[in-house]
Amino acid sequence: MSHEILLTQLLYGGAGILFFLLGVWSFISHEPLWRKLIALNIMGAGVFHVLVAVAYRGLDAPPDPVPHALVLTGIVVAVSATALALAFGRRLDREAPEHTSDAHGGVDDREDGTHA
């Protein structure tokens, strides 16, 4: 494996790992539903980034099609999950108690009282 390929893979794959961890951080440290969902999607984008980086085999060789297919499958799954979670959020908003503006954050607020 040539030097150029390895460097490219490390750069893009490393960025993917960084995305994943940023997503994890955001998921655990933010309460509102939409932030958690963006965090999950960033995590997903990170994993897909790693897969696409692995698929790269130099400018002259065709890329490995398997990770590309996995990423396409993964994207559809992520879209489905996000859509369902948003519908849950809408359902909770519809009969949110009093302040509806940030009611998505209310998912957890009964237990730890951190909800402002």
Partner 1 sequence: MLDPLALAVALPLLGALLVTMLPGWSRTLGMLTALATTGVALWLTVTVWSGEGLRSDLGGWGVPLGIGLRADGLAAALVAMANLVALAISINATGYFGAAESSRKFWPLWLLLWTALNGLFLAADLFNLYVMLELLGLSAAALGALTGTREAAEANLRYLLVGLLGSMTYLLGVALLYTAYGVLDLELVAEALTPGPVAWSALALMIGGLLLKSALFPLHFWLPPAHANAPAPVSAALSALVVKAAVYLVLRLWLDLFDGIATLPAAMLLGLLGAGAVLWGSWRALRAERLKLLAAYSTVAQIGYLFLFLPLLTAAPDGDTRERLLTALVLLALTHGFAKAGFFLAAGLVQKSTGHDRIRELGGAAQSLPAATFTIGLAGVALIGLPPSGTFFAKWVLVGQAIALGQWWWALVAMAGTLLAAAYVFRVLARAFNREPTPKCFLTDPRTEIPALLLAALSALAVGLAAQPIAVLLGAGV
Partner 2 sequence: MSSSNPQALLIPLLLAAIGALLFWAFWSGLTGHEGERLAALALERVPESGASNPVTSVLLNFRAYDTLLELAVLLAALLGIWSLGPAAAPYQRASLLLDSLVGWVVPMLIIAGGYLLWIGGQAPGGAFQAGALLGAAGVTLALSGRPNAGLPGEAWLRVLAALGTLVFALIGLTLMGVGLGFLTYPPALAKALILTIETGATLSIGATLAAAFLGGRPRAKRNAEP
Please state the separation of Cα 115 from the chain's center in Å: 24
Tokens encoding 60? 């002259």
Q: Which does 11 bind (CB under 5 to 8 A by kind): partner 2, partner 1, none?
A: none
Count the Cβ atoms, other than its own, within 10 Å of residue 9. Answer: 19
105 lies in the binding site for partner 1 (CB under 8 A): no
| Shortest distance in whole angstroms from residue 72 CB to partner 2 | 6
Q: Which of residues 46-105 bind partner 2 (CB under 8 A)?
A: 50, 54-55, 57, 62, 64-66, 68-70, 72-73, 75-77, 79-81, 83-84, 86-88, 90-91, 94
Helix (H) or strand (E) holding 83: helix 65-94
